[in-house]
Amino acid sequence: MIKTLDEWSELYVLLKLLAEGKLYAADKNANKIPSFYYNVFKILRSEKNSNLEYSRETEIKVINAETRELICCGADRQAACGYEVEKGHGWGF
């Protein structure tokens, strides 16, 4: 599976926002303004066949936005997500 730079950038931004929980503002020269940021509580993502919701609570949860089915969660993230991807029912970036 070959990914383009744009696709890898999307993945990086998604994981960075989920990990840090903050989206920083920038000045006109694209320099981060550390004192001005938006808290990130949830990220909504639309794919061709599904809509996903990444929720940042006490642990990160990935939810199918249409069925409200929990796809993976916190400590179970690797096991649950790995199973879904192996079976071809998972989600991609």
- pLDDT tens for residues 23-72? 999 999 999 999 999 998 888 888 788 888 888 877 777 878 788 888 77
Q: Give SS3 for 4.
A: coil
Residue 90 has pLDDT above 50, yes or no: no
pLDDT of residue 84: 43
Distance in angstroms (rounded) separating the CA atoms of residues 12 and 31: 19
Q: Is 68 helix (H, G, I), strand (E, B) or coil?
A: coil
Dist CA 30 CA 27 (whole Å): 5
| d(C-alpha 30, C-alpha 22), whole Å | 16
SS3 content of the chain, % helix, strand, coil (to 5): 30, 35, 35
Query: Which pTM value belongs to this model?
Result: 0.58
Question: For the residues 89-93, what does the mean pLDDT come to?
Answer: 39
